[in-house]
Amino acid sequence: MAIQSVGIVGAGQMGNGIAHVFAAAGYDVLMTDVSQEALDKAIATITKNFDRQISRGKLAEADKVAALGRISTTLRLADLGQTDLVIEAATEREMVKQAIFEDLVPHLKPETILTSNTSSISITRLASRTDRPEKFMGFHFMNPVPVMQLVELIRGIATDEPTYKALVEVVERLGKTAASAEDFPAFIVNRILMPMINEAVYTLYEGVGSVKSIDQSLKLGANHPMGPLELADFIGLDTCLAIMNVLHEGLADTKYRPCPLLTKYVEAGWLGRKTQRGFYDYRGEVPVPTR
C-alpha cells in the first residue's frame, strides 16, 4: 500500500518536528493533541523552523507555503482513522499511549499502519493492545527531527515484513537513514545515551563536578557537540526519567537506577528547555546553571 496520508498524535516537540519533515516530503499530515494550545504552538514552531531553513538557503518560500498547506490539525483523535500511517508521539507514559491506541482502533481503516515514537516502551506490548500487532512498529525519530538523520525502526514480535518494508520506504522518502533495532527496553540509541546522561546527573549529585564542569568536560574532553546535562534539558528531564525507569524495570539491573537528583528536578517541574528551567535556567539572555 502506498502511504500518502499521515496522522500524528501529540503535537509536542517531537510531534511538530515529525509533522514538519513529512509535510516537507510531500505527505498529507493530520495532527492531533489534547490541547488546542499545543496544536497552535506546533504550527507556529513549524513555521519558524521552515523560515530558518529558508534563511539558510535550504528551502524555497514556495515549498514552505506548499508544506504548511499539507498540515491540518484536529482535536478529535478519531479523525486520524482514515490516514494510511499513524505515528503516536504523545507523552512517554505507557498508560497514555495505550489509551490512545485503544480509542483509535475502532476508527481505523483495515490497512492503516500504526507506529509509536516511544523512546523506550515495549513495542510488542503496545502492539498487543491493538487489533493489528502485525501492522505495528516502533518509529523512533531523534530530536530535533528536521535536523537529525537517524530513524530507529523497531519490529515487535508480530510485525510482518510488508509493514517493515513500507516504513523503510517512508524513511527513504524523508531523506533519512533507518537503523533497525530489536524490541528491548530503550532500543539502541537510548540504551546507550540515557545511562550516560543519568551518570552525568550522579556526577553532579555526588559533587564530583558542577553543571558547567560536567558539560565542558564531555564537550572538550570527549568531543561531544553538547554536554550531557545540556542534552538532558533539550530532551526533557521527564522523558529522561521515564526512559531510565523503563530500563531499570525492564532489565531488572540496578546499574540503571535513576539518579534521585533527576527525580527531584522532575518533581519540581523543572523539565528542561520546555519549561524554561532544568539543569540550566533559560529565562534570561543566556542559560545559567541551576547548580
Can residue 90 be called a binding residue for ligand NAD (CB under 6 A)?
yes
Question: Which positions ≥6 away from 52 have C-beta within 8 Å?
Answer: none
Residue nearer to ligand NAD on the CB measure, 12 or 185: 12
Can residue 244 be called a binding residue for ligand NAD (CB under 6 A)?
no
Whether 291 contacts 211, CB under 8 Å: yes
What's the DSSP call for residue 142? P
Can residue 45 be called a binding residue for ligand NAD (CB under 6 A)?
no
116 is catalytic: no
Count of helix runs (H) and strand runs (E) in the chain: 11, 10
Catalytic residue among 119, 120, 122, 198: 119
Whether 29 contacts 8, CB under 8 Å: yes
Can residue 10 be called a binding residue for ligand NAD (CB under 6 A)?
yes
What's the DSSP call for residue 277? B
Task: Please pick, from the candidates 5, 28, 38, 196, the single residue that binds ligand NAD as defined by CB under 6 A.
Answer: 38
Q: Which stretch binds ligand NAD (CB under 6 A): 7-15, 43-51, 79-87, 250-258?
A: 7-15
Residue 106, Cβ density class (10 Å: 0-12 exposed, 13-18 middle, ≥19 buried): exposed
Whether 29 contacts 6, CB under 8 Å: yes
- Other Cβ atoms closer than 10 A to 252: 8
Closest CA to 83 of 92, 91, 74: 74
35 is catalytic: no
190 is catalytic: yes
172 is catalytic: no
163 alpha-carbon distance from chain centroid: 20
Residue nearer to ligand NAD on the CB measure, 113 or 271: 271
- The footprint of ligand NAD on this chain (CB under 6 A) covers a number of residues equal to 29
Task: Please pick, from the candidates 3, 85, 100, 211, the single residue that binds ligand NAD as defined by CB under 6 A.
Answer: 100
Residue nearer to ligand NAD on the CB measure, 209 or 234: 234
Q: Which residues bind ligand NAD (CB under 6 A)?
A: 9-15, 32-35, 38, 89-92, 96, 100, 117-119, 140-143, 235-236, 239, 274
User: What residues are annotated to the active site?
Assistant: 119, 140, 152, 190
